[in-house]
Structure 1
């Protein structure tokens, strides 16, 4: 099967979307004939010898003089959701996609966006169906911002509604829609009916160290955080504003009050960049260690391997349709996962409703009970019994992806 992948962002050490896209491309490569069109400069990611890469230089886009006229510059976005610059970017993507497809017969085209951007998917609206076999759109997050679940959602506006109309057209264009999460598929179907009818689930992948070496750029290893004897609970990755760690810290203080000897055992590490809500001083407490520094992806994986317990923090909410990319990495580390997540979340679905370290963020007493369970398990040397099940582990392995891709090739 010949596959053309349209990837906006392939920077592994800067964004989670770069990690996701590279991981996926490594699996598509098993079909032996893969071309990747990307707007990421080649020096910013590692190329695989078996894949053809084409660079789309967006730095050459000329600025329209209308963009300098304040009252006119915003008008296009309120017409169809794209401003002048975005329109130019979409047109450039579309032209290059057409050039590639006209000279090659591709069985499958896959578009991969980044963050709140879906430029390749919008470009595909300008590409005639006869130029390719099937087209699959990967939807990594809800879109637009007013369709996020609380507490992330923004207030509805004319601009967001126009963006939703454009996004709906992009979804309609796709023959197949790929989601990393079953709950995300269900969530988006509330806004775009019939999405479920042509969707597949391709979860974030858990890869081995050897598999990751094929996609990670070579970099000097920096100094890793210091861990202590006892029980090191570790959160890696950016700590976004809604992912509130204060309830966990309060529960930890409660544990130390009721079980004073636990203070000699527990160490909570918040590792990675933080948004302004969680500057270092706000998280100051006994045995809480902040490492507000962006570590490379490979360094983060090494940190996870050295942890005793891995911490997954989600927002205080009734629902979370996201599959955190770090959940796949955590499962590959084969460590207990303290998951502060809603009951109606993809994390809960993957780990299983009966997983003993699941707890809703915001409930201090229940979080305390999970910390007490960890403390008793540590003292009894039974922490290994809290490692997620083999079913959860196998869910993020590439073999499930191979099955879905083989179905697409039929």
Structure 2
């Protein structure tokens, strides 16, 4: 068995999307000759908690936890609730909020977990010298964890894999950060140092791979995926024409064109209005709910806060249509929302608002699982929804997806294990 040390910030009881990728790799590693050891944070400030995920940690897997000091905790002094990722980017900040955003962006590079780097390197240097480890893996965001791998690589004879669940300087909110020129320069420098020094780099999409090929010659695309058996769904479909979006929908992901189309269809078609129900499951920015209300859709909307992963799967399987929305940002082509893979397992029609020539659209086309409409193509979006509704009325709203087995977490883990074994020969 090859032994790997996985360095990750998100680990059960953390909920949300950030924890899924490496929890699943750890779950299946042993089947492919890899014994994982997890290094993570002690008493972290997770924005979402899902204790049910703790049941998926394989028995006997060693989990090492070390304390972390998180300056994000100081935000609570200003009445700021716990937020995930770039949640600190309030579109209408107060003066104090602007100051906090500037400090966060320019003094906590690459992110607010940077203070875990130095103590982690100190602890892990000793641990690695005393333990037979074949490979170290870091996963980000937060990308500060890659700096742990970088420093360990520079100081010890180890093999190191850097896994990018999201890009660094091409991440969707990077352009919104109030960064100085020096801060931008530092981000790019650190990113390139990680890419050049890692023995291998994992990315979740082909666009990211192309962007990183200038820095690294050993890049492997390992998408996110779904877990569980692929079998006929036994759950009865919703009686309403439900269009369901699952996951975080922040202000930067507000699909105003979608609200326009739904509103027009309700005004133009009484039958559609009576049948239509929009389900939003997860954290929804107040500005989005305000837009929905402005479009007079509130009576057709059901908003459900965070639910367990098991319940999420049931909502997906019952829905008539599953909605995906990509942030309308410069890096949109490379964004692959993690939910697409569980959507695939649900085997319900997927309607995405995303670049039709992006990575997400490529997956939908290759699996025949749905369609993607460009951000500004309102007529096409309206046409697609009407076609889906017509099929629903006829009781024929089904899809015949294909090639989705390649996205099973077990298959993806096999590829990562093969890389580890090859790298550590």
* Superposition TM-score, scaled by structure 2 size: 0.77
Alpha-carbon distance between aligned partners in 1 of 2:388 and 2:242, rounded to the nearest angstrom: 11
How far did 1:286 drift?
Answer: 5.9
Instruction: Tell me: CA distance 1:343–1:395, structure 2 relative to 1, closer, same or farther (3 Å).
Output: same
Which of 398, 403, 415 is residue 391 of structure 1 equivalent to? 403
3-state secondary structure, aligned to 2:19: helix
CA distance in 2, matches of 1:59, 1:19: 24
Query: Unpaired segments of 5 or more residues in structure 1?
Result: 62-73, 211-226
- 2:123 aligns with 96
User: Does 2:215 match 1:194?
Assistant: yes
**8 Å contact kept, 1:7–1:113:** yes
Q: CA deviation at 1:199?
A: 0.5
User: Match for 1:294 among 303, 306, 328?
Assistant: 306
Aligned position for 2:39: 37
Q: How far off is 1:281 after superposition?
A: 6.4
1:153-232 maps to which residues of 2 (within 5 A)? 153-154=176-177, 157=180, 158-189=182-213, 193-195=214-216, 197-208=217-228, 229-232=239-242
Are the structure 2 counterparts of residues 32 and 406 from structure 1 closer, same or farther at C-alpha, using a change threshold of 3 Å? Answer: closer
Moved more, 259-268 or 342-351: 259-268
Aligned residue runs from structure 1 range 270-285, under 5 A = 270-280=280-290, 282-283=292-293, 284-285=296-297
2:334 is the counterpart of 1:321: yes
Alignment of 1:40-51 (within 5 A): 40-41=42-43, 46=54, 47-51=57-61
**Offset, 1:91:** 1.0
Contact 1:269 1:289 in 2 (8 A): yes
What's the CA shift string for 1:43-82, capped at 9, x where partnerless? Answer: 9662431311111122599xxxxxxxxxxxx99x979946
Q: Secondary structure at the match of 1:232?
A: strand
Spell out, residue by residue over 1:61-110, the C-alpha distance to the aligned partner (whole angstroms, 9 max, x if none): 9xxxxxxxxxxxx99x9799469x86642111111221221112222211
Deviation, 1:260, is 3.0
- Residue pair 1:110, 1:136 contacting (<8 A) in 2 also: yes
RMSD, aligned α-carbons: 3.3
- Name the structure 1 match of 2:146: 121
Residue 246 (1) aligns with residue 256 (2): yes
1:3 corresponding residue in structure 2: 4
| Structure 2 Cα separation of the partners of residues 339 and 80 of structure 1 | 34
Cα drift, residue 140 of structure 1: 1.5
Within the candidate set 45, 48, 52, 2:62 is matched to 52
Match of 1:111 in 2: 138
Partner SS, residue 21 of structure 2: helix
How far apart in 1 are the matches of 2:208 and 2:129? 34
Quote the Cα distance in structure 2 between the aligned partners of 1:401 and 1:37: 19
Number of residue pairs matched?
371
Q: Distance in 2 between matches of 1:34 and 1:245?
A: 40
Residues 351 and 392 in structure 1, CA contact (< 8 A), matched pair in contact too: no
Task: Show CA shifts across 1:202-226 (max 9, x none).
Answer: 111200179xxxxxxxxxxxxxxxx
- Kindly state the Cα deviation for residue 305 of structure 1 after the two structures are TM-superposed: 2.0
Conserved? CA contact 1:187–1:321, under 8 Å = no
Q: 1:268·1:287 contact (CA, 8 Å) conserved in 2?
A: no
Summarize deviations over 1:95-131 as a string: whole Å, max 9, x none.
Answer: 12212211122222111123xx223310222224684
Instruction: Classify 1:294/1:79 alpha carbon distance in 2 versus 1 (closer, same or farther; 3 Å).
Output: closer
Partner of residue 223, structure 1: none
Secondary structure class of the residue paired with 1:279: helix
Post-superposition shift, 1:230? 2.5
Distance in 1, Cα, partners of 2:175 & 2:300: 26
SS in 2 for 1:27: helix
TM-score with structure 1 setting the length = 0.79
In 1: Cα distance, 2:172 partner to 2:23 partner: 27
Q: Secondary structure at the match of 2:225?
A: coil
Q: 1:342 aligns with which of 348, 351, 355?
A: 355
Q: Which residue of the other structure, out of 371, 375, 382, is the alignment partner of 1:357?
A: 371
Question: Could you tell me which residue of structure 1 aligns to residue 386 of structure 2?
Answer: 372
Deviation at 1:13, TM superposition (A): 4.9
Question: Which secondary structure does the structure 1 equivalent of 2:18 belong to?
Answer: helix
